[in-house]
Amino acid sequence: MFRALQATFGIAVVVFLLMPIFAILPLAFTSSVFLNYPIPAYSMRWMHELTTAEVWRTSILNSLIIGSGATVLATVLGTLASLGMRRGALPMAGLLRTMFLLPMVVPAVVLGVGMQIFLVRLGLASTYLGVIIAHAVLCIPFVIVSVSAALQGIDPTIERAASSLGARPVTVFRRVTLPLAIPGVVSGAIFAFATSLDEVVLTLFVAGPNQRTLARQMFSSIRENISPTVAAAALLLIVGTLCLGGLGALLRWRQGRKTAAAAA
Amino acid sequence: MRPFIQFESVSKAFGSVTVVNALDLAIEKGEFVSLLGPSGSGKTTILMMLAGFERPTQGAIYLDGKRIDHLPPYRRQMGVVFQNYALFPHMTVAENVAFPLEMQRVPRAEIARRVERALDMVKLKPLKDRRPSQLSGGQQQRIALTRALVFEPSVILMDEPLGALDKQLREHMQLEIRELHKRLGLTIVFVTHDQSEALTMSDRIAVFNAGRIEQIDNPQVIYDTPRTRFVAEFIGETNLIEAKIASVDNQVARLSLGAGLSARAHAAGGLSAGQTASFSLRPERIRLGMAPEGSNALDMTITDCIYHGDHMRVQLARDDFSLVARCERLAGHWTVGAPVVASFDPRDCTVLAQ
């Protein structure tokens, strides 16, 4: 009886979480000009619109440019930060770590306002670089969490061994530390890209008309004219995110298998 | 001329805790020296200072006449073998062994040849394309050893390298390492807390306690004539005897053991009548039954008899004075409660420093 209740509740939660996604997806293939049910007939017209209309095409391109830029920046900085905070080599590493993770909890609106003022000062407001920097700030915590976990899994005596065998510190990093941490770095990068992809609030504050990302374009188009292109864009985002998530899961699975083999 | 490896009044403190205290230690080329002691006695810290992972707080370390304590590990040319093997999990066995040679920029063809030869030496060539995780503990340890040997370092350092192996494999590896040491003329510094391991493998043993060397000598001297109470108790089993010295005459001290018993012991000097001192008497040096000419003979009672397979452990007492004797299994039948004469040579009863 209790188990049945448990199962029902579990299913209900999953449905609650997934319904909005399933509700929007079929509308990507509607033939009507309205974003609502019932769907009169299925057609590819909105998918076509998404890939041909100038404003949507540039927004997809922008998302890719900004996402890649932010991912590279966040991955490099986040990995360096994780290395620096490793094993208490720094004083107050704990405090530093909290600071680095702060963008995860600070309201994006607050971050957005601050970022806008800051970027205007730097003369980077409404530039690609400005948006990339803003997104990177948001992405760095994900990289740090993931890379730190990977670094923690490396036995420090392995690096000592390398050093005793004649490897200089840079060589130890290149030949031992980095190869062992790379799964964490890659999964951090995936998280970073996914975060940048669906970021709206910060983008609203710091991006100019030229840096309109896909998420931002969806947000504004749903307020101006509710066309089913939004649903098509949503489909694109979800498929993209699922691919990234799948890649991350694959990496984690392979890593898990490796450590399991090492433990055996 | 300086010895090959020399610690000159080296101290190491972590914060306010002194782990190594004004250590002087000299090791000759080709020697196998064990650093033996309980955990926390500073032996691993000494090895880490020699390898370059820790810096002495005070003092100097010399290798082959050159001061090395300021050099980073990668400039010291020492092969280190760690307890947990520390193989590179992302490299194959052959890549692991090739690593130190690559660091020395040995030509590729020569690397392949030397790796091949080294793996042949430990009979693991068939496994060269495996990952460390696919090997057994003993195989991993052998690879770690090979990796530390292949670049022909001046010294091999081993930090409890056999601690994670089961007893049989450990004994096998002990022989293998000993054999390698003899065949290649290696200088080995070996850290262990296992006294039997130190006794079987070493040319010399340094017994550590609380950051100091209690005694350093060859295994036989360490075992037969421990200088301090700590060494006597840490190495093997012993009877510690607290006795009042009745008289000293010509290097022989007459002891009164209590319960009306008295015995003679070898006195190394510095002892005088009336003083109380500790003595060590190994259980296997005590004979039961008959007393040969010139030995001490004590009339005691058997209080317990414990069967240990290859030997018997017989507990003896007289009032509050007690001894443990170790006897051959077939040396006789000992009945609990029976009186017996326990005898030992005065030279086997050695005085310990306070």
The CATH number assigned to the domain holding A259 equals 1.10.3720.10
pLDDT of res. B166: 84
Asked if B133's CB is within 8 angstroms of A264's CB, the reply is yes
Number of domains in chain A: 1
- A21 domain residue, yes or no: no
> Which conformational region is residue B258 in: left (phi greater than 0), alpha (psi within -120 to 50 degrees), or beta?
left
Q: Which two tokens stand for residue A7?
A: 């199962």
- A158 domain residue, yes or no: yes
The parent domain of residue A66 ranges over: 53-263
Asked if A175's CB is within 8 angstroms of B134's CB, the reply is no
According to DSSP, the β-strands at B261-266 and B252-258 are antiparallel
- A20 domain residue, yes or no: no
Q: Is A87 on the interface with B (CB under 8 A)?
A: no
Considering only the beta carbons, identify the residue of A158, A168, A171 that sits closest to B88. A158
For B52, the closest chain A residue by CA position comes to: A164
pLDDT of res. B332: 65
- A18 domain residue, yes or no: no
| Mean pLDDT of the region B23-28 | 93
Q: Which residues of B5-23 are buried (b: 16+ CB within 10 A; e: fewer)?
A: bbbbebbbeeeeeebbbeb
Test mutation, A158, A164, A173, A255, chain B, max B CBs within 10 A: A164
From CA B205, how far away is CA B234, in angstroms rounded?
12
- A32 domain residue, yes or no: no
pLDDT of res. B25: 93
In this predicted structure, the answer to whether residue B286 has a pLDDT above a threshold of 80 is yes
In this predicted structure, the answer to whether residue B82 has a pLDDT above a threshold of 50 is yes
> Under 8 Å CB-to-CB from A229, ≥6 apart: which residues?
A46, A49, A50, A53, A56, A221
Residues of A in contact with B79 (CB under 8 A): 164-165
Q: Which two tokens stand for residue A12?
A: 């209900």
- A170 domain residue, yes or no: yes
Lowest mean pLDDT among A249-263, B66-80, B328-342: A249-263
∠ Cα B179 B182 B186 (to 5°)? 110
Tell me the per-residue pLDDT of B187-216, one tens digit each, with 9 for 90 and over. Answer: 999 999 888 899 999 999 999 998 899 999
List the one residue out of B244, B225, B196 whose CA is nearest residue B36. Answer: B196
Going by pLDDT thresholds of 50, 70 and 90, the confidence category of residue B269 is low
User: Å from B232 to nearest chain A CA?
Assistant: 34
pLDDT of res. B97: 94
Neighbours of B293 (CB within 10 A): 4
pLDDT of res. A259: 57
Residue found under tokens 């998918």: A47
Residue found under tokens 């017989």: B314
Per-residue pLDDT of chain A (264 residues; tens, 9 = 90+): 888 999 999 999 999 998 888 888 888 888 887 777 787 878 888 888 888 888 888 888 899 999 999 999 999 999 999 988 887 667 787 888 888 888 888 898 999 999 999 999 988 888 899 999 999 999 999 999 999 999 998 988 999 999 999 999 999 999 999 999 988 899 899 999 999 988 888 888 888 888 888 888 888 888 877 788 888 888 888 888 888 888 888 877 876 666 555 544
Q: Is A175 on the interface with B (CB under 8 A)?
A: yes
Rounded CA Rg of chain A: 22
Domains of chain B: 5-225 (3.40.50.300), 237-352 (2.40.50.100)
Residues of B in contact with A180 (CB under 8 A): 89-90
> Under 8 Å CB-to-CB from B77, ≥6 apart: which residues?
A166, B151, B153, B154, B155
Residue found under tokens 């077939």: B330
Strand, helix or coil for residue B6: strand
In this predicted structure, the answer to whether residue B57 has a pLDDT above a threshold of 80 is yes
pLDDT of res. A209: 81
Going by pLDDT thresholds of 50, 70 and 90, the confidence category of residue B103 is very high
Considering only the beta carbons, identify the residue of B86, B134, B147 that sits closest to A160. B86
- A250 domain residue, yes or no: yes
List the one residue out of A10, A15, A53 whose CA is nearest residue A229. Answer: A53
For B71, the closest chain A residue by CA position comes to: A164
Report how many helices (DSSP H) and strands (DSSP E) chain B contains, helices first: 8, 20
Q: Is A156 on the interface with B (CB under 8 A)?
A: no
Residues of B in contact with A175 (CB under 8 A): 99
Tell me the per-residue pLDDT of B133-189, one tens digit each, with 9 for 90 and over. Answer: 889 888 998 899 999 989 889 899 999 888 878 888 888 888 888 988 988 889 999
User: Å from A131 to nearest chain B CA?
Assistant: 38
| Cα dist from B228 to B18, B19, B244, B333, B354, whole Å | 22, 20, 18, 35, 7
For B95, the closest chain A residue by CA position comes to: A175
Q: Which two tokens stand for residue B16?
A: 């306010």
- A221 domain residue, yes or no: yes
Q: Which two tokens stand for residue B111?
A: 């690397």
